[in-house]
A and B are shown apart, each in its own frame.
Chain A
Amino acid sequence: MSNYWLYVIVSYTISASILIIFVWISYSQRARAWQELKKLETKTGIIPKINKYD
């Protein structure tokens, strides 16, 4: 195994980590948005506009 493989392994490890973290962030943002909508509706019976996105 040439030492070029080290560069290949590092590249794929970093890329996969970044993508997995990003998918996780997207998932939790959606879950949080959904939860917030549910909570607001239960409390007031109406859904106010939520003007935020982080």
Chain B
Amino acid sequence: MNIIKLFHQFISPRFVYWLSNVIIPYVFVLALILIAFGLYRGIFIAPPDYLQGDAYRIIYIHVPAAYLSLLGYVILAVSSFLGFVWHIKIGYYAARSVAGIGAIFTVIALLTGAIWGKPMWGTYWQWTDPRMMSELFLLFLYLGYMALIVNIRNIDQADRVGSILAMIGLINVPIIHYSVEWWSSIHQGPSIMREGGPSIAPEMLYPLLTSILGFTLLFIFLFLYRLNTMILLRESGARWLKEIIDE
């Protein structure tokens, strides 16, 4: 019984608002340090690739962006589930907060992938490639979700309808991940999370892992910051918020 009470306190907008306010500055500073360190090591110190030369250095932004585009959608779908099934308010707030961030990282993944593709594949875009098309579809899912929730006048109804779309769209996440294994693709297969360990040399891999961690922290910072704003807007009639404003 106490655990349930504790859980409800933990997911209350008041507690989330307080907690996010406390940790946001630390997450932001740590993110900047790790991104700077990872990108410096990756762009200036790591050796050029024997096949791709210096073009491979796009990996230090492309891979984190692509991974965060998927993580963002998983958070969107899980938060929507919490709101839709268990009527947890913070679930709906989190879903609205994360959609824009996920869309931004999807755009970055698509753009950097296209720019990387030109010198390596001889083309910016391949309409028949399963990885590119499923990632583009992910962007449409994000945009569709955002368009839906701002265009339904009743905010509770908007949350519910948006959640249904978010949950259905989750099917696209494994499709993106396994697309290069299931179908023929010009995109390379997995090089970090694969059987037999990563296929990248350690002097290239460690900056990449640092960069992934740094951008993940930037993602968390943006998520908490926007969630904070969302709580301000949606809880604007609450007594606890009035107390904070009066301070």
Contacts and interface: CB of A to CB of B under 8 A. Distances in A.
Indicate whether A and B interact.
yes
Interface of A: 2-5, 7-8, 10-12, 14-15, 18-19, 22-23, 26-27, 29-30, 33-34, 37-38, 40-41, 46-54
Contact of B104 (A12, A19, A30): A19
B29 interface: no
A33 B233 contact: yes
Instruction: Among A15, A40, A41, find the residue whose CB has the most chain B CB atoms closer than 10 A.
Output: A15
A53 B230 contact: yes
- Interface size class on chain B is 35 or more
Contacts of A48: 236-237
Contacts of A34: 232
Contacts of A38: 245
Contacts of B43: 8, 12
B226 A26 contact: yes
Instruction: State the main secondary structure of chain A at its contact with B.
Output: helix
B242 A47 contact: yes
Contact of A7 (B100, B118, B229): B118
Instruction: State the main secondary structure of chain B at its contact with A.
Output: helix
Contacts of B96: 53
Interface of B: 39, 43, 52-55, 57-58, 61-62, 65, 96, 100-101, 104, 107-108, 111-112, 115-116, 118-119, 150, 155, 218, 222, 225-226, 228-230, 232-234, 236-238, 241-242, 245-246
Contacts of B39: 12
Nearest to A53: B233
B61 A33 contact: no
B226 A50 contact: no
A5 B54 CA distance: 6
B115 A19 contact: no
Contacts of A23: 222
Given A11-B116, A15-B112, A47-B236, 17 more contacts: A7-B115, A8-B57, A10-B115, A14-B111, A14-B112, A15-B108, A15-B111, A18-B107, A26-B226, A30-B226, A37-B245, A40-B236, A46-B237, A46-B242, A47-B238, A53-B233, A53-B234
